[in-house]
Amino acid sequence: MDVSLLKKIPLFAEVPDEDLQKVATFATTEEFPEGATVVKEGGYSNHFYAIEEGTVKVERGGEHLADLGPGDVFGEQGLLERQERSASVVATSPLRVIKIEHWELSRMRKSMPQVVEQLQRKVEERQG
């Protein structure tokens, strides 16, 4: 994956290119059609996603919680805490995301702890 794609995500904007190069090696892109469920509430998917193009809605128990778009991230809670998903995320337009596998987090923790700390803060903000 090209580092410039990761730079567009605010979470990674301040990360030095040599560190992003490491993230890029274990990041993949994935596409979903409008209406597709990317993350299912109660599921155990442990991927972290950053939206490259498109929009999603976040729902819990059928209640609308948020709308997310390019540059936004989701799935960080399952990535950090290995627990079941707290909400569903559904594509509201054709969607392209950058996906990072949960098992890469330990590598990220060593090479770029500041990014993992930002993810942890995001989890805490969303729980608060």
118-128 pLDDT tens trace: 777 766 766 55
What are the residue boundaries of the structural domains of the chain, listed by start?
A: 3-123
pTM for this prediction: 0.80
15-31 pLDDT tens trace: 888 888 877 887 899 99
Question: Going by C-beta distance under 8 Å and a sequence separation of 6 or more, which residues neighbour residue 113?
Answer: none
Per-residue pLDDT of the chain (128 residues; tens, 9 = 90+): 888 888 888 888 888 888 888 778 878 999 999 999 998 888 876 778 999 999 999 999 989 999 999 998 888 665 556 566 778 999 999 999 998 876 677 777 777 787 777 777 766 766 55
Report whether 28 contacts 72 (CB < 8 A): no
In SS3 terms, 112-128 reads as CHHHHHHHHHHHHHHHC
The predicted pLDDT at position 5 comes to: 87
The predicted pLDDT at position 58 comes to: 94
Which H or E run includes 2?
Answer: none
Question: Going by C-beta distance under 8 Å and a sequence separation of 6 or more, which residues neighbour residue 19?
Answer: 111, 112, 115
- Domain 3-123 fold is Jelly Rolls (2.60.120)
